[in-house]
A and B are shown apart, each in its own frame.
Chain A
């Protein structure tokens, strides 16, 4: 690998890491602000203009808080939990194509850290690892509430991962590839896969809510029953990491949904618009990346909107929705997709 590519990738890693953190930080601000306006309140408004320095204040507060380690906890695992959760939250961003190619001095730089041909599999593998952070953290706390929260979180994640995976299979049948870059390029024509796979998208969306432990699936940390769920015993920045990683998860799953179903960084009539405006290829790439983030922010706002609308599911409702509704629906979706593709002659007979 040429040294300039290596440097570019390192730079990109750094940028994406910082952007993920910034987006997550401002998602906390956005969440509070959005919740406030939906409830006819004003929300954070004291720290900086429009309360924009609130995430900084929150971060400082988290660092200043007293650090507590439960006496009878497993110290190593207790610290490993939030670290692992944060790590897995950040790892998925490596396969997401954040934009097209930048051409500088004849060399082509892709705005994707790595285009592995099993991108979707990698994504699923890492997302499922995320549960270990919660599980280890909850178990190491030596607290019944934490343990129950962790158990709920893991059973919920396992249940919904199946439906999520099956909803993706229908998509993969159409794309014929597991590379996220390829999938985005296939949506270049202006028709996103959400048009072909509305049911698959709906299932994926619901599962994404469950995977990120967001309301209405936030049973893992429901305050009314489990104090704080798996992070009951956590304090200071370790708690901060847990809460922060959740927002990164939300950001990443929004990015995945945009990539898979909403055309990634493509937008309708992009080439015509670029030609009309006289944009260079690099200019178009930058516009595409900005639009990609616009779409992601839209999804994050949607996550928040749902959170401040719907009440929490009961545990049995959660399980019956996952196993009795979403799983059969996902399987039906695969069959329907297969039949339609066969009828249209899109499947090679060999």
Chain B
């Protein structure tokens, strides 16, 4: 029984005289190829032309600074825990005196690395971040000649003070609401956690 109704019974009958001439078949084939001459080419000539992307496109990450220009990341490690590809690694350090303009809180990420070859651009790090520090942007990760160059450190991830990266496109109201949803563990205060525990019992 045919499931798709597309199966064809193969017959090995002898070719007829006109088929053995091959010329009709050849002309048919040439008609097919010449039709492709007038088809639209799907090629996008990349550096000059850029593929249209969705408004919620998830590309290269950025580590945001706050309004005063201090880094928001506190190296809590939630993004690294959330990351299904284990692409994120970090090392924390304590903020010294006089560094208040550089780092928002007492603890900061001394090293913050994302392996772009491992990253699957799922955006879970962004969801996990309680400090609104990491975001995925609409930028395409540039290619490189070595594997090492694909491990992006803070030099490539943290936005500069004079050139803030706009992440508002993906931060629509419903996204922001989702990010503050109390059902996520990292959004819960200790009172919320107690409430959750109590309801579980």
Contacts and interface: CB of A to CB of B under 8 A. Distances in A.
Contacts of B37: 37-38
B36 A38 contact: yes
B36 A37 contact: yes
B173 to A, nearest CB: 42
Interface stretch (B41-49, B69-77, B82-90, B160-168): B41-49
B43 A42 contact: yes
B41 A40 contact: yes
Range, interface on chain A: 10 to 19
B10 interface: no
A305 B34 contact: yes
Interface residues of B, number: 13
B169 interface: no
A41 interface: yes
B33 A42 contact: no
B197 interface: no
Contacts of A310: 26, 29
A42 to B, nearest CB: 4
A310 B29 CA distance: 7
B7 to A, nearest CB: 24
B39 interface: yes
A39 B36 contact: yes
Contacts of A38: 33-34, 36-37
Interface in B27-85: 29-30, 32-34, 36-37, 39, 41-43, 45
A180 to B, nearest CB: 28
Given A37-B36, A41-B43, A42-B45, 16 more contacts: A37-B37, A37-B41, A38-B33, A38-B34, A38-B37, A39-B36, A40-B36, A40-B41, A40-B42, A41-B41, A42-B41, A42-B43, A305-B34, A309-B26, A309-B33, A310-B29
A-B pairs, 9 with minimum CB distance: A42-B43, A309-B33, A309-B29, A38-B33, A309-B30, A38-B36, A37-B37, A40-B39, A42-B41
